[in-house]
Structure 1
Amino acid sequence: MWRRVKQVLAALTARVTAADREFVAAWLAPAERELFYAMNLPDQYHALQVAYTARRLAAGRGGVDYGLLTRCALLHDVGKVKGDVSTFDKTFAVLAHRLAPGRAEGWGRAGRGGRIANLRHALHVYFRHPERSAALLAGIGANERLVGIISSHHQPPAPGEPPELTILREADDMH
């Protein structure tokens, strides 16, 4: 629960500095940057924090592609597009998942409309953002490894996964 409180506080105080923008520019191609900046500010801030943490976690671990890891961390939530889900609806989705995870996921449906449709859409985005992110990235011709890692970042760990996926999950769980 404390993690969720931290996330709300981080969202309310989120900002992207000039140094953060330079970091994004250094690691992402122009089309990837467009997707990154199409997220709302709290999601951009979250992705940056995940990237910085992932890089720290990767230090000293062998076999990690730091460039791939950094790009995955910055892009893992691009399926959460600015204006697609309101703050209230996003909060509802988080609470619904916490209180009734199976039912909440089953209730999610793509498509905005009235109040109920918007809530259902928020649940859809909440549970399906990895696939949405992967589809957006595939649509701009992103690297297959990057797309695969991002599409899997909320799935349970499996044998033989790339270390970048393991580290991304760990860093994302910290933020």
Structure 2
Amino acid sequence: MSTKLFDRIKRFFRALNIKIDQQDIDIVNKNLEDKHKKLFYSMSLIDQRHSIDVAKTLINSDLDITKKTLQLALLHDIGKQVKPFFLLERVVVVIFPRRNLKLSADPLESNLLKKAWQLKYWHPEYGARLAEKASFDIELINMIRFHHNTPPKCQEIEDFQWSDNLN
């Protein structure tokens, strides 16, 4: 069995029994302001756990990590909360990526599977919109918006993407 497939299976079973402990909460409290925490705690437990794991990987790395990078790690998936994104939907969009599916960001689809693919591919934009409404600083808004892309010479996003891909 390939390592990537094994990792995905492991993540699936971990998602069935998510735990967030005091050490995790301390990481959130240390790195996020109140306006950030409001959106962080609005995410599903699956996304909170994933985001904390991304932040922990960065903290435990040898990289020179900024607070902004840790904020991105904790907030990068806030756009997934615009509609419920159930575990089975997440499994389907990972197993069957629809890269050529032409879905615009708006309006959100009512068809369950189209909505799932739409959330997967447009959550950075949805997250940036939520961050704008919550008055995040423009740098963090743009980092959320482009966290699946790499703007020229943005080491923070490159560091984040490395960690996100491991988690």
Same fold (TM over 0.5): yes
Q: What is the CA–CA distance in structure 1 between the aligned matches of 2:63 and 2:104, rounded to whole Å? A: 41
Q: Does residue 142 of structure 2 align to residue 148 of structure 1?
A: yes
Q: Which 5+ residue runs of structure 1 have no aligned equivalent?
A: none
User: What one-letter code is carried by the residue in structure 2 that aligns with 1:147?
Assistant: I
Moved more, 13-22 or 45-54: 13-22
- The amino acid of 1:84's aligned partner reads P
Q: In 1, Cα distance between the equivalents of 2:80 and 2:67?
A: 22
Decide whether the 8 Å contact of 1:85 with 1:118 is kept in 2: no
Q: 1:138 aligns with which of 132, 145, 149?
A: 132
Shift, 1:69, TM fit: 0.9
1:159 to 148, 152, 161: 152
Specify every segment of 5 or more residues in structure 2 that has no aligned partner in the other structure, as ranges.
none
User: TM-score scaled to structure 1, two decimals?
Assistant: 0.82
Contact 1:39-1:78 within 8 A present in 2 as well:
yes
The letter of the residue matching 1:51 is A
Structure 1 counterpart of 2:119, which letter?
A: V
Separation in structure 2 between the aligned mates of residue 102 and residue 75 of structure 1, nearest angstrom: 24
Q: CA deviation at 1:70?
A: 0.8
Instruction: Report the Cα distance in structure 2 between the residues aligned to 1:15 and 1:37, rounded to whole angstroms.
Output: 14
Sequence identity percentage? 25
Q: Say yes or no: does 1:102 pair with 2:99.
A: yes
- 8 Å contact 2:109–2:118 — kept in the other structure? no
Deviations 1:2-28 (A, max 9, x none): 332232133123211122112212211
Determine which of 5, 23, 48 is the counterpart of 2:52: 48
Larger helix proportion of the pair: 1
CA-atom RMSD in angstroms: 2.1
Q: Would the alpha carbon gap of residues 107 and 135 (structure 1) be closer, same or farther in structure 2, given more than 3 Å must change?
A: closer
